[in-house]
Amino acid sequence: MNAFQWTLDARDGNARAGTFTTPHGVLKTPVFAPVGTQATVKSLTPAQVEELGAQMVLANTYHLFLRPGEALIAELGGLHEFMRWNKPILTDSGGFQVFSLTDTRKIDEDGVTFKSHIDGSMKRLSPEISIQIQEKLGADIIMAFDECAVPTDYEYSRLAMRRTHSWARRCLDAKRRDDQALFGIVQGGVFSDLRAESAREISEMGFPGHAIGGLSVGESKADMYCTITEVNRILPEDKPRYLMGVGTPEDLIEGVRRGVDIFDCVLPTRLARHNSAMTMRGRLNLMNAGFARDERPIDPDCGCYTCRQFSRAYLRHLVNAKEMLAATLLSIHNLYTLVHLTEQMRQAIVEGNFEQFAQNSLAQLGNKE
Amino acid sequence: MNAFQWTLDARDGNARAGTFTTPHGVLKTPVFAPVGTQATVKSLTPAQVEELGAQMVLANTYHLFLRPGEALIAELGGLHEFMRWNKPILTDSGGFQVFSLTDTRKIDEDGVTFKSHIDGSMKRLSPEISIQIQEKLGADIIMAFDECAVPTDYEYSRLAMRRTHSWARRCLDAKRRDDQALFGIVQGGVFSDLRAESAREISEMGFPGHAIGGLSVGESKADMYCTITEVNRILPEDKPRYLMGVGTPEDLIEGVRRGVDIFDCVLPTRLARHNSAMTMRGRLNLMNAGFARDERPIDPDCGCYTCRQFSRAYLRHLVNAKEMLAATLLSIHNLYTLVHLTEQMRQAIVEGNFEQFAQNSLAQLGNKE
């Protein structure tokens, strides 16, 4: 019995429209998953996240391990029940966050010891511990514990990649639940030879899905897109591909164009909390006094609750008055923008005109207001 | 032509169930109005405010006068259109806020000069200016510009009351729009003779509704309830009565028991932002570590979105992790609690068992967890 199934519904060039079946429902890809770091998509109720069209949310193992703890979440019925999200959930492995704590973590071959950012206590994550935590959280898709290196440091990237491969095998060995799909992660920085080696090794391990990690962390766009192309040339067609932590409209289009199926990113909700609206014509900063009397919605072409209801002038007032509703309404808009973009890309792929859609959208994105 | 109509649907003792018709729909009383100080009920979308059952919201003239300014709101179609609330709105006069600025305001017979808390500039409000601002904002119910004194200072209360009466007449003279109902406000602190004098004078001026101001500002509960009783003995039966700024479950019950029809208060949303849940069995502080593993909703008898979906353990996690969703979910719950209480009181009045309902509810409120 396999709870997971990947079906390729259509292809157009390298772009794919697929269906991934999980215990909590089906993902129609390409799909963008809003990030709910601490078991909440910041400032939104699950009802609002569902209403804007999200099919899946991501939660962070690092954060939930530290607070409230995976044992408590398991005791309360798991993450779906805890946060009341009944569709698919993906948890990361905690690796990315732990390796970001550059000054307060120590790596060894077995795992990582680090200082909690909450209470300063020493904690430990390893491939086995990460899988145990993720099994207690109970997401549908869980991730291998990997090491994300500085992407432009060759020697470090090589060592981190090797460690990532060894840890990936240990994650497979540690995994017990068969109602969770464990995805392997390709590392290797911006170096073609390392990425090719990593894509080959990870592909051979038999994961039901693959992720491209370590991108959108400071490298150039050209390096990022090139790396995606090279990795996806090697990753098998018959498994879903997840580009981790990537979430601008441009990057989603360029990712899908290169065969990516799944995306997540904190950017839309983070920008929202910094008064910035993402649109398919570029970003608007709602602090701008120029919007004070602007009766138009953020984006006249957008169908989200925020754009159907509110003027830029009202949003500018909320931002100016430091009202929490600003973050909520901008989060709804920004997430809808990316979710709707993935829906449009899926349709374009099915209809066989993805390249036209991509070129038009990218051209429009270049025309900032 | 009169846009406003008050019908008494039922009486039970002094408690009343009425219907007040406004240009933006009908209020079924008793009614509790959530406060949207800056043209937003803090942390909630209008859709959420509507879903929890609110019939009317209150907005603050003082805040909107300073930011974004009544001219801008008028230019954008008025407050209903600006904040996208299509049901009745009530604006206060700005008086209460201005008189609270004890160190930075100067009162004369004509009005008040004060320092803006936003940019320190000097501003002025008077009966005429307040009405002009409220006419530009365009609420359904607008309030006379009154002076709220320290309620236990007799001499000040007397002077403030006299000024309130003179200003009430000027507000009536200044009013131009006939699609707004201007309510007069009874003042007089906790002094029976002043309150009686004020209730008589204000009643004689021909307002379509009356408010009791200057309560819940530091006086004892006994003084507050006694004052309500005395004032409502004099205020005419055939006009709605609004008790300003009052909003605990106990005070709503005691108010309705004494013939009050309309309430507003910042308390439910303010408590929510301070992690506190109002229930008909007392308050819960969700910071409490005792809730860490508590699978129950805030109130098992409550039908709000928060209680239908989330455990105390999840809310405690959100509070602990300083997530904005905590304020949203607690605001929904607290507002629902008061709105639902007014609905239950209305039903009890219609069914002729209000006193029983009041006594049971007050007894239950005494039994804190």
Instruction: Dump pLDDT digits (tens) for A101-144.
Output: 888 899 999 999 999 999 999 999 999 999 999 999 999 999 99
User: pLDDT band at residue A366, thresholds of 50, 70 and 90?
Assistant: confident
Catalytic residue among B12, B92, B146, B299: B92
Q: Report which residue type is found at A337.
A: T
- Are A45 and B72 in contact (CB < 8 Å)? no
Give the 3-state secondary structure of chain B.
Answer: CCCCEEEEEEEECCEEEEEEEECCEEEEECEEEEECCCCCCCCCCHHHHHHCCCCCEEECHHHHHHCCCHHHHHHCCCHHHHHCCCCCEEECCCHHHHHHCCCCEEECCCCEEEECCCCCCEEEECHHHHHHHHHHHCCCEEECCCCCCCCCCHHHHHHHHHHHHHHHHHHHHHCCCCCCEEEEEECCCCCHHHHHHHHHHHHCCCCCCEEECCCCCCCCHHHHHHHHHHHHHHCCCCCCEEECCCCCHHHHHHHHHCCCCEEEECHHHHHHHCCEEEEECEEEECCCHHHCCCCCCCCCCCCCHHHHHCCHHHHHHHHHCCCHHHHHHHHHHHHHHHHHHHHHHHHHHHHCCHHHHHHHHHHHHHCCC
pLDDT one-digit tens code per residue, A196-253 = 999 999 999 999 999 999 999 989 999 999 999 999 999 999 999 999 999 999 999 9
Mapping DSSP onto H, E and C, the string for A26-86 reads EEEECEEEEECCCCCCCCCCHHHHHHCCCCCEEECHHHHHHCCCHHHHHHCCCHHHHHCCC
Q: What average pLDDT does range A181-189 have in this prediction?
A: 97
pLDDT one-digit tens code per residue, A302-356? 999 999 999 999 999 999 999 999 999 999 999 999 999 999 999 999 999 999 9
pLDDT-wise least confident of A107-121, B172-186, B331-345: A107-121
According to CATH, the superfamily of the domain at B5-265 is Queuine tRNA-ribosyltransferase-like (3.20.20.105)
Q: CA-to-CA distance for B42 and B57, rounded, in angstroms?
A: 12
- What is the structure's pLDDT at B251? 98
Mutate to test the interface with A, among B67, B325, B336 (most CBs of A within 10 A): B325
CB contact under 8 A, A82 and B42: no
A–B interface: beta-carbon pairs under 8 A: 102
pLDDT bracket for residue A99 (50, 70, 90):
confident
Say whether pLDDT at B368 is over 70.
no
Q: Is the pLDDT of residue A81 over 70?
A: yes
List Cβ neighbours of A62 (8 Å cut-off, separation of 6 or more): A92, A94, A96, A97, A98, A125
**Does B92 qualify as catalytic in the annotation?**
yes
**CATH 3.20.20.105 in chain B, residues?**
5-265
Q: Is the confidence at residue A4, as pLDDT, over 90?
A: yes
Helix (H, G, I), strand (E, B) or coil at A249: helix
Q: 44-73 in A: which are within 8 Å (CB) of B?
A: 44-48, 63, 67-68, 72
- Tens of pLDDT along A39-72? 999 999 999 999 999 999 999 999 999 999 999 9
Confidence of residue B369 (pLDDT cuts 50, 70, 90): very low
**Residue B246 scores a pLDDT above 50:** yes
Closest in B44, B46, B325 to A40, CB measured:
B325
Q: Please check whether residue A222 is in contact with residue A254, taking contact to mean a CB–CB distance below 8 angstroms.
A: no
The residue behind tokens 């609004």 is B242
Q: Say what the pLDDT of residue B320 is.
A: 98
- With 70 as the cut, is the pLDDT of residue A1 above it? no
- Nearest of A264, A275, A284 to residue A338 by alpha carbon: A264
- At residue A122, the pLDDT reads 95
Q: Which of B42, B295, B323 sits opposite A38 (nearest CB)?
A: B323
Q: Is A78 on the interface with B (CB under 8 A)?
A: no
Interface residue A282 vs chain B (CB under 8 A): no
| CB contact (8 A) between residue B324 and residue A68 | no
Provide the CATH number for the domain formed by A5-264 in this structure: 3.20.20.105
> Active-site residue B12, yes or no?
no
B54-77 pLDDT per residue, tens? 999 999 999 999 999 999 999 999
* Intervals of CATH 3.20.20.105 along chain A: 5-264
Distance from CA of A248 to the nearest CA of B (A): 24
